[in-house]
Structure 1
Amino acid sequence: MSHVLTTAQALTLWHDVALAMVRDDEPDLSVRQMSILLTIYLEAPPHTVRDLARKLGVSKPVITRALDTMGKLELVSRRRDEKDRRNVLIQRTVKGALYLERLADTIGKLSQKL
């Protein structure tokens, strides 16, 4: 059985999650960066800059800048595709997986309050 949130509940949940993210010690990611990170972790690999740009409807430089930031935070890593050296594969990291696991826990806990 699914629970459909009202508009107010959905916005309250988003607000509460955003507030929790601001208050914790985790890195602050933009909505674009979070979308990219979630795509990498929720959708089956392989992930390339080109594929992510197409999927999110943004330019390749936008993806590259976001990956630069997330790479410095060790949330993702990149390596050259051995099969096609023109491609760079974006890979999950343990730190990125733990970041999203903590985020999911926060969302779960806050959704219980609605």
Structure 2
Amino acid sequence: MLTGSDLLAKVKELGDVTKSDLVRACGYVSAKKDGAERLNFTAFYEALLEAKGVNLGVTGSNSVGKGGRRLSYVATVQGNGNLLIGKAYTSLLDLHPGDEFEIKLGRKQIRLVPVGSNEEDED
């Protein structure tokens, strides 16, 4: 997927093509479960706006971690049983080494609450 000045240059180079061809040529394509092609128009337009200097101020799916990769907001239990959150997420929350959290367990969920905070204040 092209981003930044590369994306702007490709859009300019392609000129007058259909929106679908433009999205496809810039690499905003994924595969559906049945193997069919899915054009990711939203991601393309968000990247285009960002390349033009328009910041929508949206966090979450648009957050970028190390190497410019978008954060997935999915964590997988590793083979040794550990659940790794990662620096990109702790940086987003301005967490530092030594910060402590109370672990709240629910039905198939884990909630981390900063020690000494009011749980209702978090969200």
- Specify which structure has the higher proportion of helix: 1
Structure with more contact order per residue of length (Cα contacts < 8 Å, sep ≥ 6) = 1
TM-score, normalised to structure 1, is 0.32
Structure number having the greater strand percentage = 2
> Rg: which structure is higher?
2
